[in-house]
Structure 1
Amino acid sequence: MTNTPATIDTLYSINTPEGIALKLAPAGPVLRFYAWFIDSLIRGTVMFAMLWALSFFDRAGTGVFLILAFLIEWFYPVYFEIFHQGKTPGKSMFGLYVAQENASPVTPVSSLIRNLLRFVDFMPFCYGFGLICLLSNSRFQRIGDIVAGTVVLHQDTEHRVSEETTIAPVVPPVPLQLNEQQALISFYQRRPMLSEERADELAKLSGPLVGDRAAAADYLSGIGRWIIGKR
């Protein structure tokens, strides 16, 4: 009888419309706490500065402060998640970002839902319900994430080259089999974690597909980028 080794990671796979399996790595509670703490410090600092500035306007200033504090508390994460690729400053600092469960960019509606439901996660105090929910499922989703269909992912594991990359998508010069597409997608995903020398070494193993190109790794990454739909 053989024993199957147990896995201790939390990776899960999704399939793209092209039939490509992508592995995603949900972020655990520790890094998420650190990111939340940084974001809380930023919000707190901004609110304190506003309170000091508006304190000179007596009751009118207090009213304006309460309105602005409400907007910052509830819509600070929504703004960054929608307009900064799912990353608040805290999440960006620790290599995390919010996405839909299928790895597509988080939608405005989903971002709004996951953040407005923080009051449920916070109950009965100190995010008690949220922490229990987060620890009870393999994707580390709090209640807001489950309802919104979102997940917090590790950027360094799943993020397939930054949107600001200089690598342009390349149309495959020949029809590719499914396993070939999967290999190129895997290379594209791993590229940020490889040195230039190692990336070129692996790229040249593809043989005729790259030929004697000088920038073999960039060429294959461009094809992988095209296959995954980033065109």
Structure 2
Amino acid sequence: MSAIAPLDTVRSVATPEGCELRLRVAGPVVRARAFLIDAVIRFLIFVAAVVVLQYFGNLGQGLVLLTYFVLGWLYNIAFEALNHGATPGKRLCQLTVLHDDGTPVSWDAAFIRNTLRFVDAMPIGYAFGLIAMGFNAASKRLGDLSAGTVVVYRTDAAPSAIVDDYAEAEPPPFSPTPSERHALIEYRRRSATLTPERAEELAELALPLTEGLSPEQGRLKLFRIANYLMGRTVSVNPGADQESTRADRSP
């Protein structure tokens, strides 16, 4: 019997640095749960505002209407754009909104996907949105399709530990940019999850660091540079295998 496909799929996104992100797409059930949590939060805020503002007469009535507008239209947009793609409900459900390429959601995209929410809600019970989610592998509602966004599970887990004992280190021949440093360190940390062929293929792309080297030599050179960027040093004696870290060196 064939295995049943999971409701929440995994999609791979290649970054400009040559790394591969694996994003676990969120299905309609967990997204509905996050929506209900946000709905409860907004309702409680609105009730509290009504209770407080009723004592301010006409001004209070105007502020109640303003509160209703903010909670109805700006709540999702502001949280997604300012809070790493997550409203309180999404954060409690470990969800986040990203662009299709895995980058953080922007103000424009957050505005588009939430402005079109009323279309997804038609004619009743988010019927159009659920139909759209059922017809694409990324579980996108119409707002996501228009904005180029996807809702995925958050990846707040600690970076993978380095499981090999390759301890040599060397400084890079030039000062890498922050994105280059991140790519090298991620390559080092994820090396255990890559096949040797894939690791060597990625190493060949890291020009000019690996120019003129064989794929295996290039892979090891990237390992050494990444080790250095993570604070590792080796003994001055070329034949020594002992390693120390900058943090552990005696003053």
TM (normalized to structure 1)? 0.67
1: CA distance between counterparts of 2:116 and 2:192? 35
**Which of 1 and 2 has greater Rg?**
2
Question: CA-to-partner distance for each residue in 1:169-188, whole Å, 9 max, x for gaps?
Answer: xx98469xxxx988536369
CA RMSD of aligned residues (A): 3.4
More helix by share: 1
Structure 2 equivalent of residue 85 of structure 1: 84
2: CA distance between counterparts of 1:79 and 1:87? 10
Segments of 5+ residues of structure 2 without an aligned counterpart are 160-168, 174-183, 194-219, 228-240, 246-251
Contact 1:123 1:129 in 2 (8 A): yes
1:16, distance to aligned residue in structure 2 (A): 1.0
2: CA distance between counterparts of 1:46 and 1:15? 41
Structure 2 equivalent of residue 46 of structure 1: 45
Q: Which amino acid aligns with 1:83?
A: L
Segments of 5+ residues of structure 1 without an aligned counterpart are 163-170, 190-205, 216-231
2: CA distance between counterparts of 1:134 and 1:148? 14
2: CA distance between counterparts of 1:15 and 1:144? 24
1:134 aligns with 2:114: no
* Greater than 3 Å deviation, 4+ residue runs: 4-9, 57-60, 159-162, 171-175, 180-189, 208-215
User: 1:80-159 alignment to 2 at 5 Å?
Assistant: 80-156=79-155
User: 1:1-231 alignment to 2 at 5 Å?
Assistant: 8=6, 10-156=9-155, 173=171, 183-184=187-188, 186=190, 209=224, 210=227
Q: 1:173 to 1:131 in 2, by over 3 A?
A: farther
Q: Which amino acid aligns with 1:94?
A: C
Question: CA-to-partner distance for each residue in 1:13-39, whole Å, 9 max, x for gaps?
Answer: 121112222221111111111111111
Identity across aligned pairs (percent)?
A: 36
2: CA distance between counterparts of 1:143 and 1:172? 50
Q: Which amino acid aligns with 2:188?
A: L
Structure 2 equivalent of residue 221 of structure 1: none
2: CA distance between counterparts of 1:13 and 1:139? 11
1: CA distance between counterparts of 2:187 and 2:3? 25
2: CA distance between counterparts of 1:130 and 1:43? 21
Q: 1:58 to 1:142 in 2, by over 3 A?
A: same
Contact 1:160 1:188 in 2 (8 A): no
1: CA distance between counterparts of 2:71 and 2:103? 26
Q: Which amino acid aligns with 2:136?
A: N
1:84, distance to aligned residue in structure 2 (A): 1.1
Contact 2:19 2:187 in 1 (8 A): no
User: How many residue pairs were aligned?
Assistant: 183
Q: 1:12 to 1:174 in 2, by over 3 A?
A: same
Q: Which amino acid aligns with 2:75?
A: Y
